[in-house]
Structure 1
């Protein structure tokens, strides 16, 4: 433990603190010297004039030392420089203290007549004030500080002891004051050392914590990138899947906003015969070989993706004439697919039907361009196969259907044509009913039942998703109140679009719905897709989710693993759980299982509830339980049903157990 006589041998922070307080100390000394010069008759006493000049000179020299120290940046941390600056500081104190000591001896012992009693007392007050201040400003170096304080008080006190009783009393008080100041200096020094040592330890801990966080973030980033690669890759061919292709195109658009892309939709001819005549394993080998052959003839900047089944999508950036590119690519792909294959001893020869469309010539969104190319390929299939055809409006009966459905949808929202069905979500461990997911359904009076993926996508594209989502949300909350009154203690899970979450008024609107229906916020689960991770609106979404969580609403990420796969961003969105997409549950072998296991591992680290949807077999249910999934949903456990069926049903299907 450092003491007054055994100070800390090397502590750069003490040196920094000493020079930090040196500037104010010099200003105070200068003011005291100037004040003393006015108190004393220096004009008639050359020695006093010399003392003032000498003291001011010393202050200026010390000021220059103070300035050079701060210009030295951090070199003073080196031990050799540290000793130099410490010695410079101590020497300044010694010289300054000696000058004050000399003044006291000269004034009180040699020539007391040159100053009035009031002036002498004023000098004593100045010396005492300087000594008192020194207990703080010189506490970095206790030994030098104690010498400085001693020089200020000891000579003056001893000199006063040689005078009359009044002066002896002052001298005695000066010695007592000296002792008090030395004790105070020691205490201040110990406190400063303790504080600086604690500061060093805190900085060291912060540095260690930062290093640990960097390592953890690197691991999370590495796993996130791996998950992204797995989620964007077709496990059979190693090509992009549709999500990977969309992500690739989005990044290209961000980098080159005005770029054009020709999309080829490749539908293999006679592939079904391979599966039927040989086996699905043989079909997989055919798909792998065909993918390699197509990729070998694709332009350097093009990207090939497996769309699903025997369908591929080839996206080619346009650098010249579109028609020339189409002719070259379609001819090369047709020749590549025509190459005979020998699979399991059987010679096979397939063909390909090609439809193409150009982004943004034929439509605004890349998804619609792929759909347009798909329509063209379907027309090729219908009219004889083996050709290449550009998208044309004559193939757009589906687009007219979209238009008709769009008009009908605005009328259907809030009417009896739309209704909400509820699919149970159970506890994976006990089989107990935990919640129902609200699923919107549409029965069109002329077109019949409209698929949810069709009209929901239509609602998103036509900006009716907010109205539709709000209607479903209020309907689901009201229905949940009804079944809870009947003793069914299940929550309700409702899908909410990103467009709803980005509205500033959504949280207030939800509060209004809960107030009108009487549903407790704790009984509501909001499901949002991974598109909430998009940088374009993550701040607004995060703000809205924070408000919803404050209300007590649970937030789940739906279809997790199919989109952004941003596990590192789960920290920034205060969600309650994630729902693994049914596409991974449908195939629990290979990469799908790896994705699920990795997702569960990291989700557990964030304390999230894990839900798996699309459970349709006992094997899937049992394996998901083993992997550690918390909740299950799927046809095996219960199909979507209307509220009336729920209120009339006493128990779930026994399969749920």
Structure 2
């Protein structure tokens, strides 16, 4: 009895709250209906007055033509029978008052308000007077205009009656709602159960969703702990799902997810759990009777089965998947850590290549923690100007003249010392930090290049690497132009280096951005040429100034790799492009490149990455040599620059 009383005390305020909600809804609905009715009545009255104005304008044609004021007043006098008309005024073509009719009892303001200037000035959502004008025309000749002012007293009366009706209907509705609400409770309870089912299911693949996955994983881990058994957790991520969406559309992407879900069901046993926990990420739980051997075999089967063509909209589409897995309790006894370990293994699988399964190893945790720490401290170093830029010079192959320098970012950690770019740059690329890092390098490089070119005729350009995210960012061209303007560096002395893979990730956007930069006068270079697509059609599409042969092709010279480098140089020259060879480390390589008509060289042989003051020393030495070349012949081969 006490529990029922307590339930009654809780249900009674809740029911009243529902009724108050219904009353508020009805009030809002009534206001909306009143507004709609006001608009409708006002529009109807406006149409009636417009029709009356048109009829009167036609009847006033003769009197307006002959300037008969009495006849005009007589016609206007017929409006006495129309209760809503306050006044009617006829104007000459010049806008002068001709004849006016006004209903008796009007004030001075109401008497004179029927002017052409007031026509169209009243608001639709108001109860102000209505102003309508009609031209008086005969044989396409304008004889004058008539302005009718209509009162809205009848509209106000109708709205008052309609409002009373709505109030009565609303009170009746609230009373009915209080009766119906009791019966609705049972139905709402059943609907809540149905919603609970839908809340735990992914509607696209009919798999358990993220919430259901965590609930079931918790249950299975508890059973495994009680029975001293193992549970294996696999994370599965599609490697090129975005490509399918971009090329075939989102409909094909949805179809792919359905087929992947079905493929996962077929790989595992019926008692194992398959869930979709993200956009293109799935989770598989094996056990609580799993083992590391069975987990390893299942993960391999998953990777192989998903690395096959899927038929999407009648087209065979190659899809690959990365798999990472962790085993409970061998790797960890905590659910959150088990999921984290599987994610870490998945990250490792994606970094090693496509269509691969990787099991969690304890050292991976330290690697993941270091990546997170490096990212946080790199962000801090960027905010506190804790990075620096060094410059590797680039020399003309024939004259040995210094042409430019590539800007390379360096980071000296306060406690760990120098951290290689090969470690922190990929971490930045996997987060939004790469955009801020690239912006900082661009601005600093423009400033330094402007300083080393100031007061000289050196014309030494600076080359800056640009990430794909920077290139695709809105306003990137404006950002480059702003950096040039604030630093004072001419656009022709800035060279932006982009890789083929960056451009191919979104070719249309990449080419458009490149064309905008080229139009602004900025030089463009295709970096790491030969390691990506290297298609002639792509090379024709990219509006670049030069290409940079990857160091992997320069390293075997002159004992190997000559046909490839010769072909690249010849092809680039046929397109009118300069060729830059990077990674030149030995005199024999330099000698061969000069004989092969390579344009520019860069590497440890001609100059290691150096500080700004060291580069300035080279530039000053170049200027001094220019002053003495009138007496001393120029060297036929590039000189070796001072090393850092």
Classify the TM-score, shorter chain: 0.3 to 0.5
Higher strand share: 2
TM-score if structure 2 supplies the norm length?
Answer: 0.44
Q: Tell me the TM-score normalised to structure 1 length.
A: 0.43
